[in-house]
A and B are shown apart, each in its own frame.
Chain A
């Protein structure tokens, strides 16, 4: 049976070192570059007509734009729109890499914990910087919810602090685990088909069953690929909203 973990192995394509840091160009880096070119290229290609009545491709680009813009406006209000380029970048980056990972044989960058952790920590630090820059020490009101009786306030504040600092953990693990689990499941079920066929006889007759399962899971994984990009972006919006309006 093929190793279901093998697909997550980062392969060193050619070594590189920048200022003493290991910057080897890996398959992960290759797909990041491809993802950037693909997402930017598709958006540019789709909007090349700039027509008032959009073509099909232009509608897709505009839908993505409006989808994220709506998300930003709904969660942060109009003043959140200055974060729109950042949020849109998060969404396009994760969505493209998730979708690229769905192509058989392609590497899924978002199934690497270091990548998702870095993205989540980026959000975490942006929230802290923006929070203090916007509100000064008023940002700490985030940990002191309104209308809580004084005798439970220490407990509530402690919970708020813990939940705040566990955000990057859940934020990164959610994306990482979803992509990882989905791809492992796909690989395992696909492996069953080969095993059953290899076994011969009555077992081979059962081979279509995992094939159907793989079909269903593939569809599900496309949904998950989109959904996790959406969830990551949505959470980023909500966290940034805390930075803009800490007083709950």
Chain B
């Protein structure tokens, strides 16, 4: 397409410039393609070997850093969750323990009170029984004394009334007919 212009380049260029639309001028094809291929290939390798690794490296490093930070934050969050869980568990445990202790104490105290009451009641019952026995004995004794007094009084009373001297044994036998035998 492009015949190498050997001599007098000014003449054909200026003459074609008036006829050919410059962006479509075929005589500029070869020089433009030569320089386009050289510059394009140069830019390709400059970008591929130097600029892209450099910019891409920074972006990748940033993403890694962000990922690391996110991971670290997640780990910390997990730790916090674990600690929170442990805290809640110990809180629940403590609450359970407190309830158990309260119940146990309550039961113990109730049992003690019951036992003491029972002991007191037994003691009281015993004392009551003793007192009753004593009362009965005293009553018996009193009743017995009544007989004695009666026999003692009976002698002089009979003497006064009848003038007869009656021995104490006779009176006793008369008052207590069963006792003499």
| A43–B47 CB distance below 8 A | yes
| A52–B32 CB distance below 8 A | no
Report chain B residues within 8 Å CB of A84. Answer: 52
Measured between C-beta atoms, what is the minimum distance from B10 to chain A in Å?
10
Of all chain B residues, the one with the shortest Cβ separation from A7 is B22
Residue total for A at the interface (Cβ-Cβ under 8 A): 54
Within 8 A of B (CB), among A57-106: 58, 61-62, 65-66, 84-86, 88-89, 92-93
A65 to B50 alpha-carbon distance, docked (Å):
13
* Residue A28 at the chain B interface, CB threshold 8 Å: yes
Report chain B residues within 8 Å CB of A52. Answer: 58, 61-62, 65
* Residue A220 at the chain B interface, CB threshold 8 Å: no
A198 to B92 alpha-carbon distance, docked (Å):
96
Task: Choose the segment among A110-118, A137-145, A238-246 that binds chain B (4+ C-beta atoms closer than 8 Å).
Answer: A110-118
* Residue A206 at the chain B interface, CB threshold 8 Å: no
Measured between C-beta atoms, what is the minimum distance from B20 to chain A in Å?
10
Known interface pairs A5-B22, A22-B31. Does A47 touch B36 (Cβ–Cβ under 8 Å)? no
Report chain A residues within 8 Å CB of B56. Answer: 65
A59 to B134 alpha-carbon distance, docked (Å):
114
Q: CB within 8 A of A33: which of B35, B47, B50?
A: B35
| B50–A44 CB distance below 8 A | yes
Q: Which label, helix, strand, loop or mixed, suits the secondary structure of the A interface?
A: helix
| B31–A29 CB distance below 8 A | yes
How many residue pairs link A and B with beta carbons under 8 A? The number is 137
Known interface pairs A10-B22, A33-B39. Does A88 touch B32 (Cβ–Cβ under 8 Å)? no
Report chain B residues within 8 Å CB of A176. Answer: 23
Residue total for B at the interface (Cβ-Cβ under 8 A): 42
Interface string of A2-41 (1 = CB under 8 A from B): 0001101110100111101111111011001101100110
* Residue A225 at the chain B interface, CB threshold 8 Å: no
* Residue A50 at the chain B interface, CB threshold 8 Å: yes
Report chain A residues within 8 Å CB of B65. Answer: 52
Measured between C-beta atoms, what is the minimum distance from A129 to chain B in Å?
16
Interface string of B56-73 (1 = CB under 8 A from A): 111101100100000000
Q: CB within 8 A of B23: which of A25, A33, A66, A112?
A: A112
Measured between C-beta atoms, what is the minimum distance from B68 to chain A in Å?
12
Q: Spell out B's residues near A (CB within 8 Å).
A: 2, 4-5, 9, 13, 17, 21-25, 27-37, 39-40, 42-44, 46-48, 50-52, 54-59, 61-62, 65
